[in-house]
Amino acid sequence: FLEVNRRLTGDRALVSTVDAWCRPRDFVSFVEAALRRPPDTSVLAVTPLVADDNPLWVEVDATSRVRALGGREGTHVTAGMYMLSEQARAASPPPLGRLREFLAWLLEQGEPLYAETIETVVDVDQESDVALAEALAGGQTRVDRRGDDR
C-alpha cells in the first residue's frame, strides 16, 4: 500500500482495497464528495453496514471529521476506499504491518481525515459475503449492521 501510494502523482489519489463491493453509483458519489473536500485532506469511505470479519471502527463527528480509528465500536467502519492527500501518500511512518495501522498513524500525526458514508459496502472475504453482495446488487436494499436481511 505504501509503495503504491508513493509512486502516485498529483495532489490526491484514489486508492481502493480489492475486496470491497458497493453499487457503482455509490462509488461515484464517494469520489465526487471526496473531491469536494480541500485537497490537503484525506477522505475515507465509511459504512454503517458491518459486513466484515475484522472491521476497522471509525468515530466520526458532526462535521464528518474522523476523530478515532480502531477499538471495539464506533459509528461506522472503513469501506476500503480512500482519497489520500499528497502529504499522506508521502508520509514516512514507522514500520507498520497493516493498512489500518497506517491510517491510525496518519490520524495521530494530525492528518485531516474526513469520512464520506456509503450505506452498503461489503468486504468480500468468504462465500456468505459474495451472497450478500449479489443480493444487494440484485436490488435488496435493507440489511442490518451484521449483514442479515431485515
Q: Domains of the chain: which residue ranges?
A: 2-136
Q: Is 64 exposed, middle or buried (0-12, 13-18, 19+ CB in 10 A)?
A: middle
pLDDT tops 60 at residue 149: no
pLDDT in tens, 87-99: 999 888 888 778 8
pTM value is 0.85
Q: State the Cα–Cα distance between residues 137 and 130, nearest whole angstrom.
A: 10
Residue 96, pLDDT score: 78
pLDDT in tens, 61-90: 999 999 999 988 888 999 999 999 999 998
Residue 143, pLDDT score: 62
Amino acid at 126: Q
CATH architecture entry for 2-136: Alpha-Beta Complex (3.90)
Q: How many helices (H) and strands (E) does the chain have?
A: 5, 8
pLDDT in tens, 110-120: 999 999 999 98
Residue 38, pLDDT score: 96
Residue 46, pLDDT score: 96
Residue 97, pLDDT score: 78
Q: b/e map of 94-127 (b: 16 or more CB within 10 Å)?
A: eeeeebbbbbbebbeeebbbbbbbbebbbbbeee
Q: Where are the beta strands (DSSP E) in 3-141?
A: 12-16, 20-22, 42-47, 57-60, 66-69, 76-85, 113-117, 121-123
Q: Work out the pLDDT band at 142, boundaries 50, 70, 90.
A: low
